Amino acid sequence: MILYYSATGNTKFIATELAKKLDDQCVDLLGRIRNNDYSALHSDKPFIVCSPVYMSMMPRFMSEYLKNTEFTGNRAVYFIANSAGYAGITSWEARKLFKKKNMEFMGCAEPIMPNNYYVSNYKAQSDDEVKECLFKAFDKIDEIANSIQNCEKLKTRHVFFIERLITFPINSYMYKYKISAKDFKVLDKCIGCGKCEEICPLRNISMKEDKPTWGDKCSHCMACIGSCPTNAIEYGDVTRQKGKYNFEEYRHFLNEIR
């Protein structure tokens, strides 16, 4: 069973490609995370968990979900932590989490995907850079699928003690002082479809008079701003300058190269 959370489509792409290659079932965790639904998950095949990386770790809502959920059946678990280039201490965190559940940790792969965090200091990638990144990701996903097919452990990058030492305070600082929904705004071109409200993993958006309003529980996942069908959400002035990312805009490119 392949479990995933994806805000802007990168992780969903990895999970669905793995499901095709491994002839396995894919489960989108969005609904379970939104509803605090920690009911047990059963799989006869090894579990494969796919997650994006936020501030060098798993998204907090993802680790919270995984900690609270019981996994029954097969005791092996693979972890796929995709990031824009640095997955930080995510593999260490995942290993620790699943060891506590008495599961056999089969390693963590770190495919690199396009950066979706446009509201941060990251530079926006050009169209060509995004395409090159996706092109390379195909090979990496093949490599991961082959290892899982052959029941091999995934080659896992060593996480140094110094990385843990640095990551925890920075991660906490970011969540406390930088991650906030206060700069989100909605433009007149909003059609009141409610999609942003439905896809927020933290239920941080409510519709008032057919327009979204943001609460104070944001994780900066970028699902709302990246998925609006009329491009009606902006974040301060940053996204007006840099644009926004959604994997679906590159689907036609992937269909052409495969």
Positions in the binding site for ligand SF4 (CB under 6 A): 181, 186, 190-196, 200-202, 204-205, 212, 214, 218-224, 228-230, 232-233
Report if residue 88 touches ligand FMN, rule: CB under 6 A.
Answer: yes
Report if residue 56 touches ligand FMN, rule: CB under 6 A.
Answer: yes
Nearest-CA neighbor of 93 among 59, 116, 117? Answer: 59
**x/- map, 2-41, ligand FMN, by CB under 6 A:** ----xxxxxx------------------------------
Decide which of ligand FMN, ligand SF4, none touches 85; Cβ closer than 5 to 8 Å per partner kind.
Answer: ligand FMN
Element (H, E) at 168: helix 161-173
Rounded distance, CA 39 to CA 65, Å?
Answer: 10
Minimum separation from the CB atom of position 18 to ligand SF4 (A): 24
Nearest-CA neighbor of 85 among 49, 50, 110, 57? Answer: 110
Burial 198-236 (b: 16+ CB within 10 A, else e): bbbbbebbeeeeeebebeeebbbbbbbbbbbeebbbbbe
> Quick check: 52 and 83 in contact, CB under 8 A?
yes
Decide which of ligand FMN, ligand SF4, none touches 90; Cβ closer than 5 to 8 Å per partner kind.
Answer: none
Decide which of ligand SF4, ligand FMN, none touches 125; Cβ closer than 5 to 8 Å per partner kind.
Answer: none
For residue 52, how many other CB atoms are within 10 A of its CB? 27
How many residues contact ligand FMN, by CB under 6 A? 26
Question: For ligand FMN, which is the closer residue by CB, 53 or 200?
Answer: 53
Report if residue 61 touches ligand FMN, rule: CB under 6 A.
Answer: no
> Quick check: 180 and 70 in contact, CB under 8 A?
no
Which residues of this chain interact with ligand FMN, rule CB under 6 A? 6-11, 52-56, 82-86, 88, 113-117, 220-222, 247
